[in-house]
Structure 1
């Protein structure tokens, strides 16, 4: 069983900040941004791969670059980081008007991740329970999609959520403007895990991945 790796408190530069926002003033914050996905969508049309899976992979890739977005607590309550975190995401069942929460193992190879995750999505599309795979593992972070509406602000209110240190992402409906396509993305972060500087850098990483989508790969065979 993989466990989170404890952080060396003697050398950790964010120790004081972590303890302040974890104990004295526990809080989360949310930021909503627009991501230009014009080039990403064009690349996906050429390859035939799925947009939702590409969005999830790009977010997961950016999250796994930075340890502040892989934060956890040990059983003793000490700060730690997962070596890798995996995306959990929602799948809508239109007939029931309910959704399932499932997850897929992260892979740095987008093609491998896409194929595995496409199977997860297909299996969950007709799910009649919220967690068809069973209980989600502890080393997953959440991505959800609200494709029915464009939004400029989105936040979650997590009751007693001071132990939830991993980020939460929400994707909204794309909007066309001046010949470009933009995707709203809301990011919910525990302040103990990351400051505004870290979240801005995370957003920049996601922007770059979607602006330079060479990782999408070649067209699929017919």
Structure 2
């Protein structure tokens, strides 16, 4: 498995005081934004290429995550803030028989086709394994992505009651629906305010929409 590089933010990092404020200060808040994403073109291409929607969407999303350093924020063993060169997706597999889910991760790749195959292979290998964590060796550089395929929702906000919010991104999307020939779905990004402000959240959604439109 490839190893992601960790790059410390420079000493004159513009968001240094913001990072300290939202990790060490009184306000350890989380940003959560839900945006309706247009997947009309993407869905047509997925069907044309005979791909599966979830791994294709997760792979494309993972490539966008890797392109935004703030989304890959972490701290090293000395507590120094920096960013990984990419994050590996951690996704969920739903078990229809008992309505539980299992947690699986896949290896990131800058090549979409390779990335997609990694996700499909892991989903197939672990689809019948029960328990929260069913694939060992999850690396430190990861983001979470899951789907609520039964619902077209308007807001979704996972809350961390354990103190300081997690630095890694949480991505959740709902079922896609059609209106006037356009297919859209709700996508929620939840992440510590220490990592991303409103500008960076907006950058993620705009970039992802561009990639979906060009897929």
Scaled to the shorter chain, the TM-score interval is over 0.9
Q: CA RMSD in A?
A: 1.5
Cα deviation code 1:64-101 (max 9, x no counterpart): 00110001112222212112211111111111211111
| Distance apart, 1:167 and its partner CA | 1.1
Instruction: Give the number of equivalent residue pairs.
Output: 212
TM-score (norm 1): 0.91
TM-score (norm 2): 0.94
Matched, 1:13 2:19: no
Q: Pick from 26, 29, 48: which aligns with 1:27? A: 29
Partner SS, residue 58 of structure 2: helix
Using a 3 Å threshold, how does the CA distance of structure 1 residues 177 and 103 change in structure 2: closer, same or farther?
A: same
**Which structure 1 residue ranges, 5 or more long, are not aligned?**
214-222
Q: Pick from 102, 118, 121: which aligns with 1:119? A: 121
| Distance apart, 1:115 and its partner CA | 1.6
Indicate conservation of the 8 Å contact 1:142/1:167, yes or no. Answer: yes
| Distance apart, 1:33 and its partner CA | 0.5
Indicate conservation of the 8 Å contact 1:7/1:80, yes or no. Answer: yes
**Which structure 2 residue ranges, 5 or more long, are not aligned?**
none
| Distance apart, 1:47 and its partner CA | 0.7
| Distance apart, 1:2 and its partner CA | 5.5
